Structure 1
């Protein structure tokens, strides 16, 4: 009997120890000591707002407050920043000051990625070959072949610059055969108007303004360049917050649905935001394809763009275009 009572006491001690261990385990963290399991909270998202040449989805997103509505429910502040220059956009992204480039030229995205900027293309923003133009006020210039020896102004390393080089190449000319002056679109429009250049590389409302003032179209991008504009995200942001990136893509789809279902309202909003007439907004809208899906033809166009950059001394090394793309499901 003494042995039995002794065994019972041993069993009781073991059971009490086991229960104490179980209780303590249930109250403690399941992670090993020293592991930080705290999830970083996002309190703001910075997105570029680029309304020109005629970025109707962005204009609708801003006017309807679509991003604020989507992320506001989680107390996430949305900042729409008007940074229109491609290089300035990618520099700000690299510095962590931007999370999404909501309309950046394929040229700028490729240049940035090739130079080490951590970004991913998540969709196409637009394709608009008709929206990119070479314009002139000179009676001597009828085709791109007539640009030989002439002064041409426009933004370097852009879709418009690519259009110029491609147009020259189809006429057995190169940039060495013209006097190319690098300048932004407003400066090119002003220079064309005051006669300090013979031809200007213009797009969107600036091109339309020049045409209304009497300028003639030397060529558009049709058959030469697609004018591919993309949407890109900071790589670190994508890796940390894939669900927020999906929600960004969802908002973009919502803006496209709004345009489709409320086209006249979209024209009105766009006209007000850009200073165009509603008739001009309607006309220019026909130049654009806003389908965000990345097609095989888009990938090939980006590869052509990369070759253009390399052949013209703006890019030392090439990167995998497919590796630059992350499709958001």
Structure 2
């Protein structure tokens, strides 16, 4: 169950140097592409910078002069978003650190186009307040809910490793966020590893005991990804989108009091939970520096060492090169 073979990539995942100076300049300033684009499809999850960008409609504004419309497609987690990128159902999308690693190992047609800050304090491994589980070491033999191939999966693995606990000593229960929430509520799992806004919702309901958070455990990033063919054919749209995301990040940092409402408006997640999530979210577009790529390689090597991916990969092989001069 731990290895994802190439032939089962689709079913398994469905079940479960960029410059900071990018701006939303007119697209005509870049070389024309062979195939005209009429609709850009962007995958997003229930929190973070892409949600703010959707609420602010900055990508729509950046592309409107070229007659390109934007369709936003919501996903509960990163693995199905990566699969959608792989088959071309969406063109761009944002996930945590682990999904593109699992995708690349399975031969997915994806490429990294930008880095964003990690989920930080908004991703955690936690238990209910009355649990007899006090530390990560107490997870031995216990059922821990986590999304397979998600950033929370990496947090769980890294946290256990840091605490000297073998991943094989716990009983991972691979569930998507909605199913994990139900299992946690009914005590079918004893601990849960997940990100915001699901972690924030759990905080408002249970006041859980937190065993580990990403910001105190592992130095990672989240990533904006593209379908590999789309990136090759439409670099100007990617440049414009990243410029728009940079504008959204600047707005979010300058309007912290309005961010939670923006997230709530788009996702429908309760305002109280989105306020918790917004207050600890870092909004930025970061360069895909050699250091960031090397950090992602550390995660990929950890997954391979534990047998969670079927082969060793080189992350740098899947990094997009933006057009010259941008």
Larger relative contact order (CA 8 Å, sep ≥ 6): 2
**Worse-superposed segment, 140-149 or 310-319:** 310-319
- Distance in 2 (CA, whole Å) between partners of 1:210 and 1:242 is 39
- Distance in 1 (CA, whole Å) between partners of 2:188 and 2:253 is 42
Deviation at 1:227, TM superposition (A): 5.0
Question: 1:128·1:226 contact (CA, 8 Å) conserved in 2?
Answer: no
- Distance in 2 (CA, whole Å) between partners of 1:96 and 1:283 is 34
- Distance in 2 (CA, whole Å) between partners of 1:100 and 1:159 is 18
Tell me the alpha carbon deviations over residues 275-327 of structure 1, each in whole angstroms, 9 at most, x when there is no partner.
56666544433433333213444223211210122122232322322232235
TM-score by length of 1: 0.79
- Distance in 2 (CA, whole Å) between partners of 1:297 and 1:38 is 31
Partner of 1:325: 319
- Distance in 2 (CA, whole Å) between partners of 1:169 and 1:206 is 24
Partner of 2:39: 44
In structure 1, the residue corresponding to 2:280 is in which secondary structure? coil
Deviation at 1:123, TM superposition (A): 0.8
**Worse-superposed segment, 242-251 or 314-323:** 314-323
Partner of 1:173: 165
When residues 158 and 71 of structure 1 are mapped into structure 2, their CA distance, relative to the original with a 3 A threshold, is same
- Distance in 2 (CA, whole Å) between partners of 1:264 and 1:290 is 14
Partner of 2:126: 135
Equivalent in 308, 311, 318 of residue 302 of structure 2 = 308
| 1:122 maps onto 2:110 in alignment | no
Structure 2, unmatched stretches of 5+, are 1-31
Deviation at 1:183, TM superposition (A): 0.8
CA RMSD in angstroms comes to 2.4
Equivalent in 50, 70, 75 of residue 83 of structure 1 = 75
In structure 2, the residue corresponding to 1:222 is in which secondary structure? helix
Question: 1:123·1:327 contact (CA, 8 Å) conserved in 2?
Answer: no
| Structure with max Cα Rg | 1
Partner of 1:156: 148
When residues 257 and 169 of structure 1 are mapped into structure 2, their CA distance, relative to the original with a 3 A threshold, is closer
Structure 1, unmatched stretches of 5+, are 1-36
When residues 83 and 189 of structure 1 are mapped into structure 2, their CA distance, relative to the original with a 3 A threshold, is closer
- Distance in 2 (CA, whole Å) between partners of 1:167 and 1:262 is 33
Question: 1:132·1:227 contact (CA, 8 Å) conserved in 2?
Answer: no
TM-score by length of 2: 0.80
Tell me the alpha carbon deviations over residues 180-234 of structure 1, each in whole angstroms, 9 at most, x when there is no partner.
2111122222222211221111221322232332421122123322452100112
- Distance in 1 (CA, whole Å) between partners of 2:207 and 2:242 is 41
Partner of 1:107: 98
Partner of 2:23: none
Equivalent in 230, 240, 243 of residue 233 of structure 2 = 240
When residues 38 and 296 of structure 1 are mapped into structure 2, their CA distance, relative to the original with a 3 A threshold, is closer
- Distance in 2 (CA, whole Å) between partners of 1:98 and 1:156 is 21
- Distance in 2 (CA, whole Å) between partners of 1:64 and 1:208 is 23
Partner of 1:195: 187
Counting matched residue pairs gives 289
- Distance in 2 (CA, whole Å) between partners of 1:38 and 1:314 is 39
- Distance in 1 (CA, whole Å) between partners of 2:290 and 2:118 is 14
| 1:74 maps onto 2:66 in alignment | yes
In structure 2, the residue corresponding to 1:124 is in which secondary structure? strand
**Worse-superposed segment, 152-161 or 203-212:** 203-212
